[in-house]
Amino acid sequence: MKQKVCHITSVHPLEDIRIFKKECVSLANNGFDVTLIGCGENAFETIKENVRLVSLNIPVKNRFQRILKRANGVYKKAIEIDADIYHLHDPELILYGKYLKKKGKKVIFDSHEDVPAQILSKKWIPSPFRKVFSLLYALFEKITLNKFDALVSVTPTLSDKLRKINPNTFQITNYPFLDEAVLSINPSLDNSIVFAGGITSQWLHKEIIQAIDRTNNVTYNLAGGADKKYLEELKLLSGWSKVNFVGKIPFVQVNSFVCQSSVGMALCDYSPNVGGKTGSLGNTKLFEYMMAGIPVICTDFVLWKEIVEKNNCGICVNPHDIHQISRAIIELINNKDKSREMGLNGRKLVVEKYNWTTQEKILLKMYNKIK
């Protein structure tokens, strides 16, 4: 009989790439009976890629209702599933994980973020209370997560923290799927740079636009859902005239959009959530550019420098130094041979190492260990 697995999220979209496409579909394709429960605008149940999707419509008026009502709602539905293994994806579900353990279930907590560090950056929490809340949450993790059957992290620093709480911690990183269509495309040699993802201040688009304003004939191809206030600020910059903003595009079109440019931009800010200047491997952006066969200009995180500089597949810069960013763009745009070599180096790395197939093996190892 197939082991029944239930993934639960009260926050992420039902078809979140990491949760649904990577983890749930991988499990379903390897002999597990998988259900994913989440929240959305409509209530429905369907089967997609051998995964049972259950969407609950639980209206909420604010963040606190989301934490309380949606978490409780998905938990009640999860009990009905009566799975053997429950895989939780949000901090507000940890308490319900304790209840599931008392019912004799196997429980996994998937920590997508370093939550204690993330709390320090939460603007909706009054600044005098952030450190206190961060410490309280860290204490809560220590007294609850050590009882779970396994923990999951996306990056080395967080894995090390969680392993001190629960030695049965697995690092399953957000490396991209290998896209054969993209791998067959020759890298672009035009004068454009690209970003596809969240148009938020975290990705320092203002600095990138200020940098291209210092260049000649460079276009910034930009795609993604935008924070409206931030987008209006970007449009006021003189360099906005060099931006080709296409808005949000379907996930299946992201890789082909990236391939139309010659340099990928991944300037993530030094926030506590990504370990400050250490950085994180939890975001796929760097690896998507590498798979497209184009060089990257990225933040000089310790973790990213070990990949990018060591393997000569891009240039790492201080993301707040406009001069450094501009100089790196000009260097790669003007030196086509160097750009082509860096791009192909990155593509080779993704094919050999930095792809979801390598992480799927770790996921299956974890499940087979605890089932």
The lowest-confidence range among 12-16, 123-127, 191-195, 359-363 is 123-127
Q: Which of 74, 1, 8, 2 is nearest to 35 (CA)?
A: 8
Same domain, 35 and 64: yes
Q: For position 114, what pLDDT does the model report?
A: 83
Identify whether residues 107 and 216 lie together within a single domain.
Answer: no
Domain with 326 in it: what CATH number?
A: 3.40.50.2000
Read off the pLDDT of residues 273-325 as tens digits, 9 standing for 90 and up: 788 899 999 888 999 999 999 999 999 999 999 999 999 999 999 999 999 99
Span 194-246, pLDDT tens digits: 999 999 999 999 999 999 999 989 999 999 999 899 999 999 999 999 999 99
Q: What is the pLDDT of residue 244?
A: 96
Which position has the higher pLDDT, 123 or 108? 108
Contact yes or no for 141/115 (Cβ under 8 A): yes
pLDDT digits 0-9 by tens, 335-369:
999 999 999 999 999 999 999 999 999 999 999 99
CB 172 within 8 A of CB 362: yes
Share of the chain above pLDDT 90, in %: 77
Q: Give the total number of structural domains in the chain.
A: 2
Spatial distance between the Cα atoms of 28 and 369, rounded to a whole number of angstroms: 17
Q: Structure pTM?
A: 0.90
Model confidence pLDDT, tens digit, residues 66-110: 778 999 999 999 999 999 999 999 999 999 999 999 999 999 999
- Shared domain for 195 and 89, answered yes or no, is no
Residue 113 has pLDDT above 90, yes or no: no
Report the length, in residues, of the chain.
Answer: 371
Q: Where does residue 350 rank: exposed (0-12), middle (13-18), buried (19+ CB within 10 A)?
A: buried
- Strands of the 150-153 sheet, one edge to the other: 44-48, 51-56, 33-39, 4-8, 85-88, 106-110, 150-153, 169-171
3-state helix, strand, coil in the chain (%, to 5): 50, 20, 35
* Predicted pLDDT of residue 338: 95
Clarify whether residues 169 and 233 are in a common domain.
no
- Residue 1's pLDDT band (boundaries 50, 70, 90)? confident
Of 7-16, 36-45, 194-203, 267-276, which gets the smallest average pLDDT? 267-276
CA distance 130 to 117: 10
Range of the domain at 302: 180-352
Same-domain check for residues 155 and 192: no
Q: How far apart, in whole angstroms, are the C-alpha atoms of residue 356 and residue 209?
A: 32
Claim to verify: residue 210 and residue 113 sit in the same structural domain: no
- Please name every residue paired with 150 in a beta bridge, in sequence order, or none if there are none: 108
Q: Could you tell me if 247 and 282 lie in one domain?
A: yes
200 and 343 fall within a common domain: yes
CA separation for the pair 240, 213 (Å, rounded) = 8
- 8 A C-beta contact, residue 64 and residue 124: no
In terms of domains, do 360 and 331 share one?
no
Please give the structure tokens belonging to residue 221. Answer: 């191809």
Q: How many CB atoms lie within 10 A of CB 42?
A: 7
- Count the Cβ atoms, other than its own, within 10 Å of residue 296: 27
Token digits of residue 217? 């004939």
Residues 88 and 188 in one domain: no
One domain for residues 126 and 213: no
Q: Indicate whether 278 and 163 sit together in one domain.
A: no
| pLDDT at residue number 304 | 97
